[in-house]
A = this chain, B = another copy of it.
Amino acid sequence: MSEAPSQVTPHAPVGGSEFDRDTMVRTREPGVHEAQLSPGWAIGKALNGGYLLAVLGRALRQALPHPDPFTITAHYLTATVAGPATVRTSVARAGRTVSTASAGLYQTDSRGTEVERIRVLATYGDLDALTDDVRTSAEPPAMPPREQCFRATDHPGGDAAVPEMGRRLDLRLDPETCGWALGAPSMRGEIRAWLELADGRDPDPLSVLMAVDALPPTGFDLGLTGWVPTVELTVHVRARPAPGPLRVAITTRNLAGGFLEEDAEVWDTADRLVAQSRQLARA
């Protein structure tokens, strides 16, 4: 063997990875799904909104006749914590090519009251049923190869500065868009990164829902510090991603009135634009 063991990439299969285990939902009865939210996807005290969207996305997949989220919108109502949660789904229409449903994620608070954490609206379809016709004017972001990008663990603060969720990911920031980590934000409102699950699981439409919300906030590149809570996040999944790491590019054009939008594009190894997302967040 010419390759040192440290260079062997682990490669958990889709369905058998940390991400799959932590987003698993059990359908108790039609429209009622139980989840066990993992503390492994926390950033600070809060669970990541993209991770939670993937949990909701999996419950909707079980509730609908189509497998893939074509367009899904989440409104984040109250902070979700690790532990048990219930997802209730309500189908609006099940059509031939697409189907639409709402869902709510609920947790029981310390007083025993059920509280809604997130409300979602989504239309599902089958990405494999789409035509191969691609007439896109979008180009993949110009980024250096993965080996020339910065891991979170390269941060001067070291491993302790990495949020818990960072340990689930192999996230490598484009050096051009992480000056903020050294106190020199570019003020362009851009963050770009290579992103893969730490256990090497290939991307799929559900992990893409997490990927669009996995990078540091663009606010950091605009000189903001601190928490940028998401009000609403919409993701369009446009193609089934090819195996291998994703490139995620996030931009903000409009920071005003205490709010900002974050637009994400997700590109796969085949240079296909597989997802577009936009979120409204509080600065």
Complex contact B71–A189 (CB within 8 A): no
Q: Summarize A's interface: helix, strand, loop or mixed.
A: strand
Chain A 180-209 interface residues, beta-carbon cutoff 8 Å to B: 188-189
Q: How far is the CB of A61 from chain B (nearest CB, A)?
A: 17
Complex contact B75–A100 (CB within 8 A): yes
The reply to whether the CB of A133 lies closer than 8 angstroms to some CB of chain B is: yes
Which one, A14-22, A25-33, A250-258, is touching chain B? A250-258
Complex contact B75–A254 (CB within 8 A): no
Complex contact A132–B257 (CB within 8 A): yes
Complex contact B100–A119 (CB within 8 A): yes
Q: Which residues of B contact A133 (CB under 8 A)?
A: 255-258
Q: What residue in chain B is nearest A131 (Cβ atoms)?
A: B258
Given A77-B92, A93-B116, the answer on whether A231 and B123 have CB atoms closer than 8 Å is: yes
Chain A 111-136 interface residues, beta-carbon cutoff 8 Å to B: 116, 119-123, 127, 130-136
A→B interface (CB under 8 Å): 70-71, 73, 75, 77-78, 92-93, 98, 100, 102, 104, 116, 119-123, 127, 130-138, 188-189, 222, 231-232, 234, 236, 238-239, 252-259, 261, 272-273, 276, 278, 280
- With A137-B254, A138-B253, A236-B261 known, 10 other A-B pairs at CB within 8 A are A73-B232, A78-B93, A98-B231, A123-B232, A123-B280, A133-B255, A134-B257, A239-B257, A261-B276, A278-B278
Which are the 6 A-B pairs with shortest beta-carbon distances? A130-B257, A138-B253, A73-B73, A121-B121, A134-B256, A71-B232
Pick 27 A–B contacts, CB within 8 A, sort by A.
A70-B280, A71-B232, A71-B280, A73-B73, A73-B121, A73-B234, A75-B123, A77-B100, A92-B104, A93-B116, A98-B231, A102-B121, A132-B257, A133-B255, A134-B256, A135-B255, A136-B256, A137-B188, A137-B254, A138-B253, A234-B278, A236-B261, A236-B280, A238-B254, A254-B273, A254-B276, A256-B272
